[in-house]
Structure 1
Amino acid sequence: MTYLQTHPHITFEANWVLGKDVLFMLGQCEAIIRTISEIPLPPKERQRLLLVSLRKGAQATTAIEGNTLTEEEIARIDEGESLPPSREYLEIEVKNIIEALNAIREDVILNDRSSVITPELIKNFHRFVGKNLGDHFQAIPGRFRQNNVVVGTYRPPEHTEVNHLVQRLCEWMREVFHYEEGSADFIEQVVQAIVFHVYIAWIHPFGDGNGRTARLVEFYLLLRAGLPDIASHILSNFYNNTREEYYRQLSLAGMEGDLTKFIHYAVQGFRDGLAEALSVFQNSVLQTAWKNYIYDALDSKKAQGKSKTIVKRRRNIALHFPVDRFYGADELLDREPVFIKEYSGLSKVTRARDFQELERLELIIRDGNKYKGNIRILKGMPPLRRRH
């Protein structure tokens, strides 16, 4: 029997409908990406956010397949630490993905070099996934499987069909999405990334590492579509956080032979993840602006106090003043190390005088006998009414 008889869902036809809600969400995605791309992040902060994104992506895509390392452990590994021998394979899995993500980023963003998806490119991504894993990887890295497999209750196509199916998948992508002609818009490229991901899962061309390879291809296509690298973890993170639903949607798409629901699921997660990322990046910019505002306010003629020590102390207090809610002075001295250090050996009168000056400069606001940092002043919001 041919794959069409045994796997009627692998049709290489556009069996999906992009409803108004999906098109609207994709429009939102494009707008958010444009906003993220234009956020003026300082180089050091941008590098920090990039590291966080790549590590989150590596953690998510390996966790889906059973890797148990936390984000904190992955950060330490990425900084050069090693795990005990019994957990070394977990470390290698993550390092492989981080290396692959960085290689893809270098090609697409730094070198502005991208190409259509080919069987050889897919194999190359798979080489990254399985490198140095030995017996912990049930496939030869970079080689299509030579045997039949069963994945849970799903039996992928015969191994003798794999080469043809992957070749046909790559040809179909060119026929439908026209990236090489320069005519594919953002929506088409996002849909292509999602569809390609699903088809790799259906064909299951490798003995192991198919999910990680599929998500690397998806990452590659999304970067190519304009996704900022500092937001590159979003879909892998979403799939991992909704793991049961991820597998349910994959299975449902196969049973129904229709990708409409999976695309809706993925796009919704993509949109929500982008919105969360935008909030993080905007908050990063706000924190930088707040820090600069404090330095300006306490480095100008508006600041009172003849001693540099006084100005430095008040500035340090302002920089570390909580902005989330109001706190009493005694509460701050109990919970904030900077406050404890700065006011050690000083009187309550000195502390009151500092707070009064910071309030005059509108760096903090008061509500009765409680205070908080006045970061809202940078948002164009009026200060709260003081209650005496």
Structure 2
Amino acid sequence: MHRPPPGEYRTVSTAGEPFRAFVPAALPPLPPIDWNPALRRRFDDALVALGRLDAVSTLLPNAALVLYSFIRKEAVLSSQIEGTQSSLADLLLYEIDEQPGVPVEDAQEVSRYVAALEHGLARLRGGFPLSLRLIGEMHAVLLDHPQGRGKTPGEFRRSQVWIGGTRPGNAVFVPPPADAVADCLGDLERFLNDVPESTPPLIKAALAHVQFETIHPFLDGNGRIGRLLIVLQLVHDGLLREPLLYPSLFFKKHRPLYYELLNAVRLQGDWERWLDYFAEGVEQSATQAVATAKQLLALVDQDRDRIATLGRSATSALAVLQALQRQPVTSAAALVKATGLALATVNRMLVQLVDAGIVSELTQRQRDRIFSYRAYVDALNAEL
């Protein structure tokens, strides 16, 4: 279906140069989405895949430990879309106060993404609504690092921004002028909360993501907050009990198409192609997450059986193994904190786990050594 752009262009002037800024119309789209049979099937398949993923959080043992890793995986992927070089191993090293293999600023940025998502989840579970205030709070957490503090963390922008180009006059896309941001965000907040009408959660997530990125309400961090909101809203609306989905894997793999389709909505009102892409991404991401979760838990079961043969050491070694699922790149000091075991006991267990081929020592130094639950990390890194 050919439809006009879902909004209007306003002519604005900065430094004497006129340009056109796009102000999106409120959701849901008008005219309505063309729900052809293929698009309906795509969303049906995505919902089935999400249901299987949601079951992981209740049917698999130690799902909370898998969740810890999956949140970090999404943080790494979403940040890589924005240009950071940090890997999952870099983030895990940073979290135990070790030097990552990339500039520490990159690892800091990824770590703040994790903190922003965890803050949002905690607030929702405490009864706080999915709201502009919550989005602002998460943005403040996201930008709470030296490079972010000059970009008005937690505050919606009061100046013009643009995407691509050197100025609004030659930009690829110019979001709404600052004086239109509050109204656009108010409309989006109402849509997220099913006012004036209810929208199925997965469709809502797809539409709201485009709208948020089009409004571009912050000076920095819009892409990461926009992708974070996808998972947060699916949890809020009950499609997922836990944020086990990492959609940024699909977006990163198909990054040029991701940006092309966002622009196609703004320029041509082509919601259908975006919705098809989004639903495919959710289906693939959810299916891969289920497979990875099962692979991780099968690995742990296999290693637990091997540890059971260690005799009197088995109980302490199992405690270390459980801690390694939460922090698969770690140090003896971090394991002492995680397990409550004495340092001498932890060191003795690490020697046994290295000898058993379960753990690898990464640093080859006498003190402050770093260890990796290598097979676990490799499984998490398989698609990165």
Same structural fold, with TM-score higher than 0.5 when normalized by the shorter chain: yes
Point out which structure has higher relative CO (alpha carbons under 8 A, 6+ apart). Answer: 2
Preserved CA contact (<8 Å) 2:50 2:283: no
- Deviation for aligned residue 1:36: 3.3
Q: In structure 2, how many angstroms separate the alpha carbons of the residues matched to 1:292 and 1:209?
A: 41
- Change over 3 Å in CA distance of 1:67–1:23 after alignment to 2: same
- Change over 3 Å in CA distance of 1:157–1:277 after alignment to 2: same
Q: In structure 2, how many angstroms separate the alpha carbons of the residues matched to 1:30 and 1:177?
A: 24
Higher helix share: 1
1:82-125 deviations in whole A, cap 9, x for unaligned?
A: 449x92321221111111122233344xx36352x322222122
Q: In structure 1, how many angstroms separate the alpha carbons of the residues matched to 2:69 and 2:280?
A: 22
**Paired position in structure 1 for 2:17:** none
**Paired position in structure 2 for 1:118:** 131
- Deviation for aligned residue 1:250: 0.9
Q: Equivalent of 2:240, from 227, 242, 263?
A: 227
| TM-score, normalised by the number of residues in structure 1 | 0.65
| 1:250-329 equivalent positions in 2, closer than 5 A | 250-287=262-299
Q: Equivalent of 1:144, from 152, 156, 167?
A: 156
**What secondary structure is seen at the aligned counterpart in 2 of 1:143?**
coil
List alignment gaps of at least 5 residues for structure 2.
Answer: 1-6, 11-20, 165-171, 312-354, 358-384
**Paired position in structure 2 for 1:95:** 111
- Change over 3 Å in CA distance of 1:149–1:19 after alignment to 2: same
- Deviation for aligned residue 1:4: 2.7
Query: How many residues are aligned here?
Result: 287
| TM-score, normalised by the number of residues in structure 2 | 0.65
- Deviation for aligned residue 1:63: 1.0
- Change over 3 Å in CA distance of 1:240–1:138 after alignment to 2: farther
Counterpart check, 1:57 vs 2:74? yes
Q: In structure 2, how many angstroms separate the alpha carbons of the residues matched to 1:103 and 1:125?
A: 7
**Paired position in structure 2 for 1:164:** 183
Q: In structure 2, how many angstroms separate the alpha carbons of the residues matched to 1:8 and 1:193?
A: 21
Q: Equivalent of 1:195, from 207, 210, 213?
A: 207
**Paired position in structure 1 for 2:61:** 42
**What secondary structure is seen at the aligned counterpart in 2 of 1:145?**
coil
RMSD: 3.3
Q: In structure 1, how many angstroms separate the alpha carbons of the residues matched to 2:243 and 2:193?
A: 28
List alignment gaps of at least 5 residues for structure 1.
Answer: 299-307, 309-336, 340-388
**What secondary structure is seen at the aligned counterpart in 1 of 2:247?**
helix
**Paired position in structure 2 for 1:73:** 90
Q: In structure 1, how many angstroms separate the alpha carbons of the residues matched to 2:55 and 2:135?
A: 32
- Deviation for aligned residue 1:48: 3.5
Structure number with bigger Rg: 1
Supply the AA of the counterpart residue of 2:279: V
**Paired position in structure 2 for 1:313:** none
**Paired position in structure 2 for 1:14:** 28
- Change over 3 Å in CA distance of 1:52–1:243 after alignment to 2: same
* Worse-superposed segment, 167-176 or 273-282: 167-176
**Paired position in structure 1 for 2:382:** none
Preserved CA contact (<8 Å) 1:235 1:273: yes
Q: Equivalent of 1:104, from 120, 125, 139?
A: 120
Q: In structure 2, how many angstroms separate the alpha carbons of the residues matched to 1:96 and 1:262?
A: 29
**What secondary structure is seen at the aligned counterpart in 2 of 1:144?**
coil
- Change over 3 Å in CA distance of 1:81–1:202 after alignment to 2: same
Preserved CA contact (<8 Å) 1:92 1:133: no
- Deviation for aligned residue 1:267: 0.8
Supply the AA of the counterpart residue of 1:162: V
Preserved CA contact (<8 Å) 1:125 1:217: no
